[in-house]
Amino acid sequence: MDVLWLWRTKLGSRDKIDSTDSHSPESPSLSSRSSLLASDVGLIVRAEHPNPFLVLGPHRSEEEPGVAIRVFQPQAEQVTILWGNHDEEHPAMRIDPAGFYEAIIPLAGGAPAAETSPSHYRLRITEVSGQTYETYDPYAFPPLLTDYDLYLLGEGTHFQNYEKLGAHVREVSGVRGVHFGVWAPNAMRVSVVGDFNRWDGRVNPMRARPTGVWEIFLPGMGEGDLYKFEIRSRTGEMLTLKSDPYGFAAEVRPKSSSVVAAIDGHKWEDAEWMSQRAHFDWQRAPISICELHFGSWRRGPDGRWLTYTEMADELIPYIKQMGYTHIELLPLTEHPLDASWGYQTIGYFAVTSRYGSPHEFMDFVDRCHQAGIGVLFDWTPGHFPRDAHGLAYFDGTYLYEHADPRRGSHPDWGTLIFNYGRNEVQNFLLSNALFWLDKYHIDGLRVDAVASMLYLDYSRRPGEWLPNQFGGRENLEAIAFLKRMNEVVHARHPGVLTVAEESTAWPAVSRPTYVGGLGFDLKWNMGWMNDTLRYFSLDPIHRKFHHGELTFSMLYAFNENFVLPLSHDEVVHGKRSLLAKMPGDDWSKFANLRLLFGYFFSHPGKKLLFMGSELAPWSEWRENASLDWNLLEFPPHQGIQRLVTDLNHLYRREPALHEVEFDWPGFQWLEVHDADASVLAFIRRGRRPEDFLVIVCNFTPVIREDYRVGVPERGFYQEIMNTDSSFYGGSNVGNGGGVAADPVPWNDQESSIKLILPPLSALIFEPKRD
């Protein structure tokens, strides 16, 4: 790269600069040195120049043959150019008292030096304080984003734009530094600011590129440096300081600077897991998820958060012991408010620094995979907070959000809603989804608040929302985005799961897009959850009048690929813990909770259980404290933990409980009408005819003797689960390990078994094979 190339790149066809000086008209240095630079110098000094690379850095000298190197350093007392391999010293002249310097480097015969590159010279800067340092000139380096990059960014199809925008440690022309890129199409000027330039936005203004992208390479910067973008809008709004939307790390709240982080280079040791995941037959596999909030699962003795490394040491063995197949992490993207639990995201590409570094989180995921545990990630493309350093009003305009609050403001959470119809915003979110799968090997995305994305009138009164182009309430842009997200994720990462938290009757959420669905793999069954918890909160004497609240779920159980969620949302905000929801005295509460878990694990659908539910806490979950592990000192709580452990392992071991969860061949009613006794009985089947289980649930505290239930074949039925067992804290009423079938037709079956139904219990029977 020679000086002539630099001249052509930086000046193009422009040979002269407007001579009008708007900053220092009486400056003798300007008139004597280079009056042609006056207006541009003024714009540089005021940080208003639309393209500082046209002025700063190396340029062809107009006064004499050679290279004019121009530098703006407000804190500099003296600037010297160290030229060439021998560091020839060329003192720069101050041509504006604000700190604008220029040096003319003569070249032999007026010809450019062919070997000149951005690293051919350095700047020696002596500050007013007396400190002296040397650095390469940021304005000597060419743009790094290609025209193809810019085209894809504008089109919204740059699915790895996180490799281009944000902050990336690079080596350019042998010089180490950081390349910065940001999308701010309505900015008049964008600068990178940080400790390295005293947070002075005049020092490092960026290069404007087509499609509204800005970029600059800052030599000498490296991993761990703090930075933000200072943005001056074309609208005349005041300067704003913004965190990097594509930043890989950030300071711990309440600080809000982005942090340069190099996230490549982790030595992954999960190749076997990743290879198997690509062929994962998730529909027929057991999926039992422990939903987890990282900061409150367990804390250190001083109440501090555990780090990613400490959590790997403690959490992974516990999850293995409990029998879960996956963990689902409440959002670990960077967020300013602890009480939001991570759902109000600021740094969509930054794993929160509360618990450690990006590489430490990679190691956490890696160790989960090596232990056979999948990791799902809570993802929040539905809304973002209004914090001044975030995405809101990013470049002085409504860039990521809608301008009209009837489309852009979320009434429930006080947050902002993405403009899904804008290519660049869609690209931001699509690439973010892919980023976690690509860089962190995440096994699935649980998409938060899908219902709020689908409906324009979600949680709004008449007059508070705008209809779509056809006059309807459907958010067509959000629907198109969700479909596209699912298509791209599944095409690029086979075996990865996408899960919708969707609480309405929107059809085909978990059906492929080519048949008109949204393309998710799984959908949370909020109807089952609400009906079931409402039923269990009733005094058993009244349950016979609400029998349909249990049986209703089977009318739609196979309309979607459902996950049964007993999530964090059900144990906060005055809803009470699961144990506290149960009616009656303490014995009844624990018995009801055991019954709930037995019914939960035997009902069709993949499973999700919030952390700590196995401890049977009396109080609601708190994000600012550890789970109540001390409860395990008491036998009733120990019993619940043992029960959840055994149910998890039973669910994984028995094909009848997990192989056919999304179609009628996996389920058959035996007793559905006995509302007076509040008893349900049904069969769960696997893919092979011989794989079936009989489940009987008694939802009252009454012991029912000689209760007959039909079974599909003769033989001995072993009682493989009894939630009333004394091992789990129950009264130990049961069937002595099993019963033999009688040739008595019952429940449309040719044979039947006569049972003792323990109080508030779930029983599971398996035909004994020779």
Active site residues: 448, 501
Q: Map residue 318 onto helix, strand or coil.
A: helix
Q: Look at strands 497-500 and 522-524 and give their pairing.
A: parallel
Contacts of 516 (CB under 8 A, 6+ apart): 508
Contacts of 208 (CB under 8 A, 6+ apart): 50, 51, 214
CA atoms within 13 A on the CB side of 155: 9
Contacts of 366 (CB under 8 A, 6+ apart): 266, 268, 269, 270, 441
Whole-number Å distance between alpha carbons of 23 and 44: 9
Two tokens at 57? 């850095």
Residue 489 burial (10 A CB sphere; 0-12, 13-18, 19+): buried
DSSP code per residue over 128-171: TTS-EEEEE-GGGSPP-S-HHHHHHHHHT--TTGGGTSEEEEEE
Nearest to 428 by CA among 458, 456, 401: 401
User: Within 10 A of 763 (CB to CB), how many other CB atoms are there?
Assistant: 26
Nearest to 363 by CA among 259, 267, 261: 267
CA distances to 3, 106, 116, 164, 716 from 113, in Å: 7, 10, 6, 31, 94
- Provide long-range contacts, Cβ within 8 A and 24+ apart, for 206-209: 206/52, 206/180, 206/182, 207/51, 207/52, 207/53, 207/143, 208/50, 208/51, 209/143, 209/145, 209/150
Number of continuous H segments (helices) and E segments (strands) in the chain: 17, 34
**Helix 423-439 vs helix 147-155: angle between axes, to the nearest 10 degrees?**
110
Contacts of 743 (CB under 8 A, 6+ apart): 714, 750, 751
Q: Are 650 and 675 in contact (CB under 8 A)?
A: no
Instruction: Tell me the one-letter amino acid at 24.
Output: S
Whole-number Å distance between alpha carbons of 556 and 147: 51
**Helix 423-439 vs helix 476-492: angle between axes, to the nearest 10 degrees?**
30
Q: What are phi and psi of 490, to 5 degrees?
A: -70, -30
Q: Look at strands 444-447 and 497-500 and give their pairing.
A: parallel
Whole-number Å distance between alpha carbons of 298 and 306: 7
Query: End-to-end distance of the chain based on CA atoms, in angstroms?
Result: 81
Whole-number Å distance between alpha carbons of 189 and 210: 14
Nearest to 679 by CA among 698, 695, 694: 698
Q: Map residue 106 onto helix, strand or coil.
A: coil
